Structure 1
Amino acid sequence: MDAVDAALEGTVALVTGASSGIGAATAEVLAAHGAAVALVARRADRLEELSARLNAAGGTTLVIAADMAYEAQVREAVERTVTELGRLDTLVNNAGLMILGPAAAATTDEWRRMVDINLTGLMNTTHAALPHLAAAAAEGSRRVADVVNVSSVAGRVAFAGSSAYCATKYGVVAFSEALRQETAGRHVRVSVVEPGAVDTELREHNSPEVQEALTRRFGSIERLRARDVADTIGYVVTRPRHVAVAELLVRPTEQV
């Protein structure tokens, strides 16, 4: 964990999907800014490894194994964060699932799982966190709190072979904007970050054929790295109280 500054000193963040990729990198960035970080994901072993690394660098972490598809687990994760770390200032909804392919060949179980994690899970986590975020904005030294929802380019442009995935990511964008309007007066900022092609494990949920199609689609372009997106999230949540970044689209330079 590289030291950045103390912009988030004394605050607490919760990051979902923190066991790898963008989530793990975001936890590192927020910890480097001084936040205590609750690490939430299904793979507890990965979380423990990340926690040990951040703690060794001087951070404070809390490991919570949870599946975002289950509301009870989501709510327990939020409550444990507040109980054990004392507050909640920043929520990063990053957990996601991407299963691609033609709609006619898909199973509705795959669609349901994506909706449960990408959209419903994100909404449930946010709902559980909102009272605590509002309290942090009203009482904390920074007097502002943040929800950052990780969507995708697929939340702005629909692609063949991605119908259900696009539907969930469009839903994240719409939910984020409506919620932003509701919470702006309380200084709970709501932002949506939309990455383009990122070199993470997300594609590995797909068949070898779909993964090969993705490789052909993006060719030899240099993809974003998880840290690139994490740095973007770090920028969003460290803005002064009067500055809200509502939406950020981040693409690899060569992606069209």
Structure 2
Amino acid sequence: MTSIIENNIAGKVAIVTGASSGLGESTARHLAARGAKLVLAARRTDRLDKLVAEIRESGGEAIAVATDVSKRADLEKLAASAVEAFGRIDVLVNNAGVMPLSPIEKLKVDEWDRTIDVNIKGVLYGIAAVLPRMTAQGSGHIINIASVAGLKVFTPIGTVYSATKFAVRAISEGLRAETGHGIRVTIVSPGAVESELQLGSSDAESAAGVKAFYDANQIPADSVARAVVYAVEQPANVDINEIVLRPVTQDF
């Protein structure tokens, strides 16, 4: 027998950015297994196509849309593709992110720009693409993936990264307070989770420290996917505003 909670996911149209690996891929698989219709976004279309094929082979529905979240036009195209394929948008998982860590004194300004473009602008562009549609249909759910680095500044190598995740927290809370029309807003802040995010540092010393930290602490990507599912599956009048999860061994 299908439970009432499962029915709160089945049939929903969910966009997941950064779906080609890690948290995004795992989230897509978990939502698809519960009957959601998936619109998967990333730059690496070969991986997206493979994931779409696997979901369809398992009886699910999914499409892939090549997307660079730092480009607003790509997010508008993504939302339009979701509506064209499935008629509506019920969930946006703003998952795409980058984490090139280094001390500020190393002045990796190009990496700062990229981090801001993806982690902040990408989230805002995603919101801008789906919010009018959700408002018009009278319901929707925007889930922003942040980080425990948005709760405490990740010094001495992650100050800029933390700044972007603090921004995602502010955007999420402001959006929650401003939106009505049956729209839910959730922020998910993970600690060390197994993904390619940890591989983003061009600074060798920072990269070595991050690798050691993740090797000692990381938990599987589906830890975050289960948190997303928990938020989505709640009844329409319940809004899970914030979820923070860490490995038990992580003190930061």
TM-score normalized by the length of structure 2: 0.93
Structure 1 residue aligned with 2:117: 116
CA displacement at 1:206 relative to structure 2: 1.4
Paired residue for 2:224, among 220, 229, 237?
229
C-alpha contact (below 8 Å) 2:169/2:187 kept by paired residues = yes
Instruction: Determine the C-alpha separation between the residues in 1 that align with 2:81 and 2:163.
Output: 31
Structure 1 residue aligned with 2:27: 26
Asked whether 1:252 is paired with 2:247, we answer: yes
Amino acid at match of 2:150: G
C-alpha contact (below 8 Å) 1:7/1:33 kept by paired residues = no
Instruction: Determine the C-alpha separation between the residues in 2 that align with 1:178 and 1:210.
Output: 33
Structure 2 residue aligned with 1:178: 174
Asked whether 1:100 is paired with 2:101, we answer: yes
Instruction: Determine the C-alpha separation between the residues in 2 that align with 1:100 and 1:91.
Output: 27
Structure 1 residue aligned with 2:154: 159
Unmatched segments (≥5 aa) in structure 1: 139-143
Asked whether 1:39 is paired with 2:40, we answer: yes
Asked whether 1:168 is paired with 2:169, we answer: no
Amino acid at match of 1:192: I
Instruction: Determine the C-alpha separation between the residues in 1 that align with 2:154 and 2:11.
Output: 42
Query: Aligned ranges for residues 61-210 of structure 1 at < 5 Å?
Result: 61-136=62-137, 138=138, 144-160=139-155, 161-183=157-179, 185-207=180-202, 208-210=204-206
Structure 2 residue aligned with 1:141: none
SS at 1:248 equivalent: strand
CA displacement at 1:94 relative to structure 2: 0.1
Amino acid at match of 2:195: T
Count of residue pairs brought into register by the alignment: 245
CA displacement at 1:84 relative to structure 2: 1.7
Amino acid at match of 1:232: A
Pick 1 or 2: higher relative contact order, CA cutoff 8 A, min separation 6: 2
- 1:245–1:5 CA distance, 2 compared to 1 (3 A): closer
Instruction: Determine the C-alpha separation between the residues in 1 that align with 2:219 and 2:47.
Output: 22
- Percent identity (aligned): 40
Deviates more, 1:88-97 or 1:77-86: 77-86
SS at 2:74 equivalent: helix
SS at 2:216 equivalent: coil
Instruction: Determine the C-alpha separation between the residues in 2 that align with 1:135 and 1:191.
Output: 20
